[in-house]
Amino acid sequence: MEKVALLFSGGEDSVLALAALRKDPAREVVALVTTFTDPENRLAMHRIRRALVEAQAASVKCRLEAVHVPLGASNRTYQDAMNRSLTRLRDEGVRTVATGDLHLQDIRAYREAWLRTLGLQTVFPIWGHSPFLVAREFVDAGYRAAVICIDRDRMPAESVGKEFDHGWLDALPAGVDPCGEGGEFHTFVHDGPGFAFPIPIARQTPYSDQRFTFAELDLGPHSLCTVCNAPFTCGAELPAEHCWCMAEPKIAPDLAAATCMCPRCLADTITRRSGPDPLVRRDS
């Protein structure tokens, strides 16, 4: 099976590319390659917190390959960091890199030439699709996304922070690509087909930097057990910072992230997986 690494931004184009790749039985997406800036630990350009992207990767059940670059890094520094990560993935058996590009020929040519120097081929699973159809079909398919960044030279500031839905698309100014291919806006997908669980997001006050306005998103609190729907206080939110899910070695990290459970349901899960073994809460 062909191992594929996907250049991943967390937006609608990346998520649709992942979905398209997973429909191909001859390919396996083994890593989502995402760039974060240091020391902020945020997604480069989009400024989404790493915790949100990690939750995305856990929900779509794919490894996150984090590439770190200094804030304000030059293109050369950025490419060197990407080259190191992609070379490591190539050494692990990856031969193909995918992107969610739709129609910008110069971007495609650049990626193909760059990745060829690393001995990697490229694939563009949603290339040539109409941005107008892609945006509408994305919403119709049940995906949910927040608009996290807009270019105020091309869009009104109040567009940021809203849900990427039909109403938002209807209000787009003339000339704006409905998938933001020209950098007019970016999105963060927090639920939809292929997600094991929705990403809880908490919207904070937007802020501006030069001509861009950003939605400040935090990972929202878990307040209901995803198994029995009972309200409870998640241990990760307590001052002692103890999470009985992540501290329990019998629970896989992806399960803990996907199903924030009350202690009772977690104990039941442990019993089903490994036989009777009472849960001991690890307070610190």
Q: What is the mean pLDDT of residues 247-272?
A: 58
Q: What is the mean pLDDT of residues 211-226?
A: 78
Lowest-confidence pick of 21-25, 182-186, 224-228, 279-283: 279-283
- Which of the four pLDDT bands, split at 50, 70 and 90, describes residue 199? confident
Distance set, CA 160 to CA 39, 67, 96, 169 (Å) = 25, 26, 34, 12
CA 85, CA 81: separation in Å to the nearest integer?
7
H-run or E-run covering 142: none
> Using an 8 Å Cβ cutoff, are 64 and 29 in contact?
no
Residue 220 is given by DSSP the state P
Q: What is the mean pLDDT of residues 60-88?
A: 93
Mean residue pLDDT across the chain: 84
**pLDDT value, residue 280:** 37
Whether residue 250 is predicted with pLDDT greater than 90 in this model: the reply is no
CA 60, CA 44: separation in Å to the nearest integer?
21
H-run or E-run covering 32: strand 27-38
**pLDDT value, residue 81:** 95
Lowest-confidence pick of 1-5, 127-131, 267-271: 267-271
**pLDDT value, residue 263:** 59
**pLDDT value, residue 225:** 63
Does 6 or 278 have the greater pLDDT score? 6
- Which of the four pLDDT bands, split at 50, 70 and 90, describes residue 203? confident
Q: Which two tokens stand for residue 232?
A: 């409870």
Q: Tens of pLDDT along 77-103? A: 999 999 999 999 999 999 999 999 998
Q: Tens of pLDDT along 157-183? A: 999 999 999 999 999 999 999 999 989
Q: What is the mean pLDDT of residues 209-230?
A: 75
For the CA atoms of 60, 246, 69, 200, the dihedral, rounded to the nearest 10 degrees, stands at 50
Q: Which two tokens stand for residue 29?
A: 């997406």
Distance set, CA 181 to CA 107, 176, 177, 185 (Å) = 10, 9, 6, 8
Domains of the chain with bracketed CATH: 2-123 (3.40.50.620), 131-219 (no CATH), 222-284 (no CATH)
Neighbouring residues of 205: CB distance < 8 A, sequence distance ≥ 6? 216
| First CA to last CA distance, the chain | 45
Whether residue 154 is predicted with pLDDT greater than 60 in this model: the reply is yes
Q: How many helices and strands in the chain, by DSSP H and E?
A: 9, 12
